[in-house]
Amino acid sequence: MEPLLDLTIATFGPFYEDSFRSIVGDAIMANQHGTWREDYREMWVGLHDPQNNKHVVVVEDGDTLLGFAAWQTNPGKRSGEIDIIAVAADQRRHHVGRALCTHALDAMKHAGVEVVSIGTGGDRFHDAARAFYDSLGMTALPLVRYYMAL
């Protein structure tokens, strides 16, 4: 669990501390994601629960964690969602993310899923993620979320 949490924090820490904070300011950062590290710890508790259609796959090289992906399916709607994917910084652009997504997509297809989604940000931090999802043949739906500190 700790290596997975460490990779999650290393991957998404720059988003929260640099990108998100610089866009919305300290007050909104504190309100919306002030406990982001603890939030990820809580997320990991129920992330892998195959009896409830939640799955995690990891890629390792010996004892070194290279990356992970988590997804869930909704059999009644024949849909699925990749909840989170992270690849160690020194392994990016070495096809680890593609292998993780391919595995998750194949598993979902095998489970009868017909439509898959994944969410990401529209900020510069997420540029590489958007390009990667485009390369997988996914279709982006632009969304906008507004924040204001009162």
Report domain extents, the chain: 2-135
**Burial class (CB within 10 angstroms; exposed 0-12, middle 13-18, buried 19+) of 101:** buried
Please state the pTM of the whole predicted model.
0.91
Pair 23, 146: CB distance under 8 Å: no
Strand order in the sheet with 115-118: 54-61, 64-74, 79-87, 115-118
> Tens of pLDDT along 13-65?
999 999 999 999 999 999 999 999 999 999 999 899 999 999 999 999 999 99
CA proximity to 104, closest of 81, 77, 87 = 81
Class of the domain covering 2-135: alpha beta
pLDDT at 68 > cutoff 90? yes
Cα–Cα distance for residue pair 86/103, rounded to 1 Å: 14
Element (H, E) at 80: strand 79-87
Cα–Cα distance for residue pair 100/107, rounded to 1 Å: 11
